[in-house]
Structures are given as C-alpha cells and as structure tokens.
C-alpha cells in the first residue's frame, strides 16, 4: 500500500531581519490653556484738566465701555459749548447753511500752496501728521470751541440772514484755521450732522446727561 505524503502547510517565512518596534498608542495632546486677554480699562470719567477742549471730552466719552459711564463724563464736563455742539449735530430743526462735504481753503494762495482741501489737512493734522499750514499743533494758544460757540448762529438757518453765502463761509473757514486741528475736525463733522462717525456718543447719551435741554423748533 502506497502512503500519500501529507502536504506541508505554507506560511510566512520567518524573518531574519531586525524586528520593528511594536506600535504604541499616541498620547493625547494636552489642551492648550486659553490665553488671558488683557482688557485695557477705560480712563476715569473725571481725568481731564480744567476747561478741556471739546474734542478731549468727546474722546473721553468715546473711550468709555458703557452708556452709564459716557453719561457720567458728559455730566462731569457740562458746559454750554458742548451742548451747542450737540444741538447743531442732533437737532433736526437746526439747518446748517454751510455747504456739505469737505471745506476748501478760503484764500487762493493757500489753496495753491497746500495740497488738498482744508478739511483734508485738518484731518491730517488731527491725526498727528505734519501741519500743512506750518501751525503749532498744540493749540493751547489758539481759540477753541469753548470760546467760539456763541458765534455758531452765523452758520445756521435763521441765525444771521444778513450774511452773504461767501461771507458766512469765510467766517467759518477763518474759525477753523484758528482752532486746534481736532477742534476744527469736530466742527467739520457737526456742520454735516456726522459727529457719530468718529465719536461713540449718541443723542440718547446727551438726553440722559442733560435732561433739561429742549429739542426741536429752533429753525
């Protein structure tokens, strides 16, 4: 009787090379701790010098984090000059007689000597750039809105109808050129009722700070 040989089982040949290290489970990445964001505190609501510029008051209002603090600043620096600015800006019955938009230079030689409009150079100076007119930008020895606000009636309907358009515009231009650049910038915004495009101060803030003020019927 013939015996049939049992077939050998095929398997993987034994490796004679170096053994690969066993796979290890990747350690979970440690979660990065959230970075602390430092929030700069708002300046104190009474941090300005005596008789500050109007732009200084507006900047301090703008820097406050809450409406209550904005109102507090306005109360701390209450003055007829800033109230007049708000009336011109927010009261719809006050109609500006000045042309909207950028203010040109009043003198022909100034217009040719300094590039751009008066408004553009005021904005440049207000931002800390070199004065296009060579003026001292400190402004402490110039006039201010605090001293000029009683003359604003020249620029609105019903204030001084005897003025010609040209004369009215020249008075405004001369006033701007005598003001600190940031004060002049405020008036350029206010004449177009555009104060809120630069400063975070609302009509509601003003009404809360000065509840005795009346609105409307001024035209």
pLDDT by residue for the chain (219 residues), tens only, comes to: 555 555 555 555 565 656 655 666 666 676 767 666 667 788 998 889 999 999 999 999 999 999 999 999 999 999 999 999 999 999 999 999 999 998 876 554 444 445 567 777 777 777 765 544 444 444 444 789 999 999 999 999 999 999 999 999 999 999 998 888 889 999 999 999 999 999 999 999 999 999 999 999 876
C-alpha 46, offset from chain centre = 20
Residues 6+ apart with CB under 8 A from 198: 185, 189
Q: What is the pLDDT of residue 26?
A: 63
111 domain-assigned: yes
42 domain-assigned: no
15 domain-assigned: no
Q: What is the pLDDT of residue 56?
A: 94
Which domain covers residue 200, as residue numbers?
54-209
Residues 6+ apart with CB under 8 A from 101: 119, 192
Structure tokens at 75: 């109360």
Q: What is the pLDDT of residue 137?
A: 46
Please name the residue that has the structure tokens 């035209």. Answer: 219
151 domain-assigned: yes
pTM over 0.75: no
101 domain-assigned: yes
Structure tokens at 98: 């000045």
CA distance 56 to 81: 13
CA distance 183 to 66: 24
19 domain-assigned: no
31 domain-assigned: no
* Closest C-alpha to 205, from 94, 95, 93, 64: 64
Counting the structural domains of the chain, the total is 1
139 domain-assigned: yes
């Amino acid at each position: 009787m013939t015996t049939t040989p049992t077939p050998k089982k095929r398997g993987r040949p034994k490796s004679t090379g170096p053994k690969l290290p066993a796979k290890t489970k990747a350690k979970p990445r440690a979660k990065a701790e959230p970075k602390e964001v430092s929030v700069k505190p708002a300046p104190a609501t009474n941090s300005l010098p005596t008789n500050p510029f109007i732009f200084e008051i507006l900047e301090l209002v703008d820097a406050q984090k809450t409406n209550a603090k904005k109102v507090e600043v306005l109360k701390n620096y209450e003055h007829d000059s800033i109230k007049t600015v708000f009336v011109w800006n927010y009261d719809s019955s006050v109609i500006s007689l000045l042309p909207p938009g950028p203010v040109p230079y009043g003198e022909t030689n100034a217009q040719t000597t300094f590039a751009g409009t008066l408004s553009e150079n005021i904005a440049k100076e207000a931002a800390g750039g070199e004065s296009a007119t060579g003026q001292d930008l400190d402004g402490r020895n110039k006039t201010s809105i605090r001293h000029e606000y009683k003359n604003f009636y020249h620029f609105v309907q019903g204030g001084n109808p005897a003025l010609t358009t040209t004369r009215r515009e020249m008075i405004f231009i001369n006033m701007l050129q005598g003001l600190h650049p940031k004060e002049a910038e405020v008036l350029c915004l206010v004449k177009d009722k555009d104060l809120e495009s630069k400063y975070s101060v609302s009509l509601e803030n003003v009404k809360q700070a000065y509840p005795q003020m009346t609105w409307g019927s001024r035209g």
